[in-house]
């Protein structure tokens, strides 16, 4: 299979470009799950994570041929083999277009809905991304200016006589 390799490097996920998604996931599973896990259990775990990531149709695709969003989701998925209670992600949407960013944040929300705590930094999220978060911690000038649910941000700003215009992104307005 031939593909054009992406020239976009900023916030690049350092993945081995010549492996397929399936090969990468298998190697990660073998390393992280250890010898005590049967082949069937390992394959089942891989399939579950690949399905959660929305990468089922890309299992045979080489990493170098994946989109930025697919690479980002794969990077997140590699951490799921450890079955962490908390996922800390710094800028998981950097370098992604708005559609891929929304898909990535949707994946993170699904992971959170399955019982994990997901903490992530997102600089200036658009209003569609903002709606996918349960809890915000907004920092400006090195200090927390808001902490709480997304739906309470605009009413909170109103307590300071700051009226966020209708159809304006509250995250932009809050800063």
Question: Token match 């215009």: residue?
Answer: 165
Q: Is 45 within the bounds of a domain? A: no
Q: What angle do CA 133, 70, 105 make, to 5 degrees?
A: 0
Q: Is 76 within the bounds of a domain? A: no
The H or E element that residue 11 is part of is none
Q: Is 143 within the bounds of a domain? A: yes
Contact between 14 and 54 under an 8 Å Cβ cutoff? The reply is no
Q: Is 159 within the bounds of a domain? A: yes
Q: Is 18 within the bounds of a domain? A: no
Number of domains in the chain: 1
- Compute the distance between CA of residue 59 and CA of residue 57 in angstroms, rounded to an integer: 6
Q: Which residues pair with 88 in a beta bridge?
A: 119
Confirm whether pTM is higher than 0.85: no
Q: Is 65 within the bounds of a domain? A: no
What is the extent of the structural domain holding 148?
134-175
Q: Is 141 within the bounds of a domain? A: yes
Q: Is 2 within the bounds of a domain? A: no
Contact between 72 and 90 under an 8 Å Cβ cutoff? The reply is no
User: Residue 151 to residues 2, 104, 161, 171: CA-CA distances in angstroms?
Assistant: 46, 21, 17, 11
Contacts of 90 (CB under 8 A, 6+ apart): 120, 121
pLDDT number for residue 31: 93
Q: What are the 10-residue block averages of pLDDT along the chain, 175 residues in total?
A: 39 79 94 92 94 91 91 90 88 86 89 90 85 88 90 90 84 68
């Amino acid at each position: 299979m031939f593909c054009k390799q992406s020239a976009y490097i900023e916030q690049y996920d350092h993945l081995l470009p010549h492996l397929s998604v399936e090969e990468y996931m298998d190697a990660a599973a073998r390393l992280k799950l250890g010898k005590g896990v049967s082949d069937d259990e390992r394959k089942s775990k891989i399939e579950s994570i690949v399905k959660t990531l929305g990468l089922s149709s890309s299992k045979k695709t080489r990493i170098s041929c994946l989109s930025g969003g697919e690479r980002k989701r794969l990077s997140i998925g590699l951490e799921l083999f450890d079955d962490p209670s908390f996922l800390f992600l710094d800028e998981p949407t950097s370098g992604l277009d708005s559609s891929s960013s929304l898909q990535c944040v949707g994946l993170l929300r699904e992971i959170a809905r399955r019982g994990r705590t997901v903490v992530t930094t997102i600089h200036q999220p658009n209003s569609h991304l903002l709606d996918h978060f349960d809890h915000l911690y907004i920092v400006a000038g090195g200090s927390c200016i808001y902490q709480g649910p997304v739906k309470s941000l605009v009413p909170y700003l109103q307590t300071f006589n700051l009226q966020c215009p209708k159809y304006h992104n509250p995250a932009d307005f809050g800063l």
